Chains A and B, each alone.
Chain A
């Protein structure tokens, strides 16, 4: 398959690499229909994130069609899914409390040491985001192996454009959570600093949560002219 691979600072290449297949029983293989570039991918591109290796496949915002599923997956071939960027087991203490990003088992055991030192305990795995987050191949590729595929992927109906669904993978929930953390009450006036993609979703989420007025601030004048 073709995939976007990292080779060093400011050096990413579309290359032919080995296809993924089912390794563990709960895996599924997704044929990617749409994928996005996250602002966080720039940190990899600029090489701010340690533990990258040449040939790593980037991308953690993607969706597509299930083309294979292991016996432990609940997905069916042909289903259309959006895949969240976190890899969480669904059965540890934290997943039981819906603290999926703190999953005890999302990282391979050999990749847990750095997270343990940085955060005090391992965290969930991430697609395409260095070896300290698991070393998993990412979604800027034709196909992706999705571990614990009975936990993360969201089955979505046909008839809705990819562009209206893709952002469920990361950036919409990120903006939503920023607004949710504000405990917005009906009639509130809310200020959002920064009107990049996350900021735009935070603005829309604030309205959905009942804000009467949202004041958006940004250093880039062009962003102020956007109609949302």
Chain B
């Protein structure tokens, strides 16, 4: 929640735990703890082609080479946006850092870290910096469509955890026809 008028309610917590982002900072971070060993979680995440199975608005990811991939994402109002992402640093079982290449519809960069939490499994933290399409107006439109990136990222990570921990992604759809209609409307 942002507070545009004084007094200043912004906090100085790390971005993964901050309740009140400062102004229009286009930086988000979210964490999830997954009840699986760090190597299994890292390997599952590194399989970028599988992202559409838990990232609701990712249409597809084309793997170009081990470090480069093209992301095709559903934007606000059904618009399709895409970019080329390059892995700039990869430390096995610890972190992945990426940067979008020149010409991206939504310029973005970020880092995902994987921390061994012993009996609790693995803490996955995603930090993403991005330039929303159309600046502030685009971000407001995105919120209307539930595509606000911090909400989207939190839900995507929850689905990633469900896939790893349960082998499936929870849905309340009563039958396959309703499920297909929900997927279609997303």
- Asked if residues A89 and B166 are in contact (CB atoms below 8 Å), the reply is yes
Within 8 Å by CB of B151, from A20, A113, A122, A125, lies A113
- Asked if residues A72 and B170 are in contact (CB atoms below 8 Å), the reply is no
Give the residue name and chain of the A residue nearest to B170 (CB).
Answer: A108
List the 8 shortest-distance A-B pairs measured between CB atoms, nearest first: A109-B158, A135-B172, A109-B155, A21-B175, A24-B168, A89-B166, A20-B174, A137-B174
Q: Which B residues have a C-beta under 8 Å from some C-beta of A?
A: 33, 35, 120-121, 151, 155-156, 158-159, 161-162, 165-179
Within 8 Å by CB of B155, from A22, A104, A112, lies A112
Give 8 new A-B contacts, CB below 8 A, not counting A23-B175, A93-B33, A110-B155: A18-B174, A22-B176, A87-B170, A91-B165, A105-B162, A109-B162, A112-B158, A145-B174
Q: How far is the CA of A167 from the CA of B65 in the complex (A)?
A: 58
Q: How far is the CA of A104 from the CA of B35 in the complex (A)?
A: 10
Give the residue name and chain of the A residue nearest to B180 (CB).
Answer: A23
Within 8 Å by CB of B175, from A92, A105, A145, lies A145
Q: How far is the CA of A122 from the CA of B121 in the complex (A)?
A: 18
Q: How far is the CA of A26 from the CA of B175 in the complex (A)?
A: 14
Q: How far is the CA of A178 from the CA of B67 in the complex (A)?
A: 57
What residues of B have a CB within 8 angstroms of the CB of A93 in the complex? Answer: 33, 35, 120-121
Distance of B133 from chain A, by nearest CB (Å): 23
Q: How far is the CA of A125 from the CA of B33 in the complex (A)?
A: 19
- Asked if residues B166 and A111 are in contact (CB atoms below 8 Å), the reply is no
- Asked if residues A108 and B171 are in contact (CB atoms below 8 Å), the reply is yes
What residues of B have a CB within 8 angstroms of the CB of A89 in the complex? Answer: 162, 165-166, 170
Task: Knowing A23-B173, A93-B120, say if A105 contacts B178 (CB, 8 Å).
Answer: no
What residues of A have a CB within 8 angstroms of the CB of B177 in the complex? Answer: 18
- Asked if residues B167 and A25 are in contact (CB atoms below 8 Å), the reply is yes
Interface residues of A in 59-112 (CB under 8 A from B): 72, 87, 89-93, 96, 104-112
Interface centre among A92, A111, A122, A148, by most chain B C-beta atoms within 10 angstroms, is A92
